[in-house]
Structure 1
Amino acid sequence: MPQPAWGEALPALWRFALVMACWAVIAASLASLVRNRTAAVLVLVLWPLIIERAIGLLLSRLLSADALPGLLPFAAARAAMSGTSDPGEGTDAALTQTLLGSGLGPWTGLAVHVVFTFAIGAAGAWHYCRRDAP
């Protein structure tokens, strides 16, 4: 398989860098909100792996909205880093959809994740300024 040109790889690198920067903001904000670094780390590890998928499954079953789990923040981040706006058809498309947990395009997924990061960051900053800042 030939290597992509820099012009093709640069958007994916920017999306990856932005998602990773969002992780740092989410981690600091969550640590500020819960005041316990261990709990913040546990939430950040378990949330994308287990909690978000369980919540997405419950929401899709209860509300009969199959697109709703794709709008959850870390599913959107996985869609942003995948770079596949349309997985196509067939069994590979179903597997890609299952692994990503989102049918969003890469830029839409990035926008959803950034909005979530902004909300958590604002809550963490407000909580820190209210409680710890002099």
Structure 2
Amino acid sequence: NPKAEAIHDPADVAKADFFTKAVFASAAAWSPNPRNPPLFLDLPFKSGAMQPQIVAKWAANAPLAIIDQFIPNLREYKAIGMDAGTKDQPIAGTVETLDRVLNDYAIEHAYETYDGNHINRVADRLERRVLPFFAANLD
């Protein structure tokens, strides 16, 4: 991702497009590096080449890679809800697989797909699905 590699200052992250910000959010969560100022993270690519150790960290934190070890915790949740736009790949495929895994473990949850991508229906989804879901399930 040349856009991400060109950023070396936190202020520039704030100016980046959505998907570049998503790369930095993922890196902050999955490959933080306190020895790599000023962003204190490692990107999974350098000079256009994939960085295998960083890619491995990201893969190890992927929801499908870790879900089985958290099944007891997931059973304790009052409610689990997830959705994805059908045009939001690979997220839609991952969420569909998560739905299958939760069904296999007989964990009650809400799952829905909608015609859309990652960002084009955010306001509608928040108003019509997310906020009512939270209102019904949070004490």
Answer 1 or 2: higher relative contact order, Cα 8 Å, separation at least 6: 1
Same fold per superposition (TM over 0.5): no
Greater helix content = 1
**With structure 2 as the length reference, what TM-score do the two structures score?**
0.30
Greater strand content = 2
